[in-house]
Amino acid sequence: MSTRQTILLVDDDPTVLNMLARALEESYEVLIAGDGVDAVYVYERNLERVAAVVTDLEMPRLNGQSLSEWLHHIRPQLPVIIMSGSFRRQALRDLTQRPMTSFLGKPFETAQLEEVLHNVLDINEGQASQP
């Protein structure tokens, strides 16, 4: 039985998805989804295990913002990291003001993603242990 935390990684670019999954698999158990609709399906089947979600912002069928809203409706304390290479300043401000939502601008080094994940998971653990 694995004691590593489980991350749901969502991106419609298979190259990015596979590269990030390989990098994160050294520290986390990684579940992958090719878009927001697939992510909902994967999350529903693994909701007890998923410690955080890392999602692209712009995807077909269900974008990262809508996915984040759905996830937080189901589980408000779930950390969600939204990645994007193109964003409007107002949209970014709206996203990052939501509790448990972080933003990571593309391109980034995998070490940056790992650092953000580490930080949000530590914060989430601290909140979970408070009475």
Residue-wise pLDDT for 49-100, tens only, equals: 999 999 999 899 999 989 999 999 999 999 999 998 776 555 566 666 667 8
Domain containing 57 — which CATH number?
3.40.50.2300
pTM of the model: 0.87
In a domain, 99, yes or no: yes
Question: What is the overall mean pLDDT for the chain?
Answer: 86
In a domain, 19, yes or no: yes
Count of domains forming the chain: 1
Is residue 117 within a helix (H) or strand (E), and if so which, with residue range? helix 110-129
Classify each residue of 47-73 as buried b or exposed e, where b means 16 or more C-beta atoms within 10 Å of its C-beta. Answer: eeebbbbbbbbebeebbbbebbeebbe
* Residue 24 CB coordination number (10 Å): 19
Classify each residue of 76-86 as buried b or exposed e, where b means 16 or more C-beta atoms within 10 Å of its C-beta. Answer: eebbbbbbbee
Task: Name the residue range of residue 48's domain.
Answer: 6-129
In a domain, 52, yes or no: yes
Q: Measured on CA atoms in the order 26, 28, 33, 35, is the torsion positive or negative?
A: negative
Question: What is residue 129's predicted lDDT score, i.e. its pLDDT?
Answer: 40
The answer to whether residue 36 scores a pLDDT higher than 80 is yes
Quick one: pLDDT band at residue 1, thresholds 50, 70, 90?
very low
In a domain, 72, yes or no: yes
In a domain, 1, yes or no: no
